[in-house]
Amino acid sequence: MILVAGPYRSGTGDDPRKLEANVRAMNECALALFRAGHLPVTGEALALPLLDTAGSTGPGDPLFDEIFHPVAEQLLARCDAVLRIGGPSEGADRMIAQARAQGTDVYADLADVPAAR
């Protein structure tokens, strides 16, 4: 199971179109990983529906702070590797630091991810 970590809010000004573009970039990478035989996951795929259900009004509200990064952190604890994509992102960089601290493999390019077993 490989976590795709990339920017979500960084550089978007919380513009919904830019947020969606960031999610799409992560999903496109996840699809490539899936087609290569891996089980890809994103924190956004789990956190965004929870935020909607909880009644979040948008990025940065108290519900967002309660749910968004904690979901990704819990998910990362169960992943075999992390693929870091995209540009600057404090959240994605936190995921990489956590991955390294727990001894999880980290990749910076899709081409570097080993073949699925």
Task: Give pLDDT tens digits for 40-73.
Answer: 999 999 999 999 999 999 999 999 999 999 999 9
Q: How confident is the model at residue 117 (pLDDT cuts 50, 70, 90)?
A: confident
pTM, rounded to two decimals? 0.94
pLDDT in tens, 18-38: 999 999 999 999 999 999 999
Asked if the structure places residue 91 within a domain, the reply is no
Count up the domains in the chain and report the number: 1
Q: Is residue 11 a part of any domain in this protein?
A: yes
**Average pLDDT of every residue of the chain:** 97
42 part of a folded domain: yes
Quick one: pLDDT at residue 62? Answer: 97
Give CA–CA dist 64/107, Å, rounded.
Answer: 27
Range of the domain at 49: 2-82
Indicate whether 51 belongs to any domain.
Answer: yes
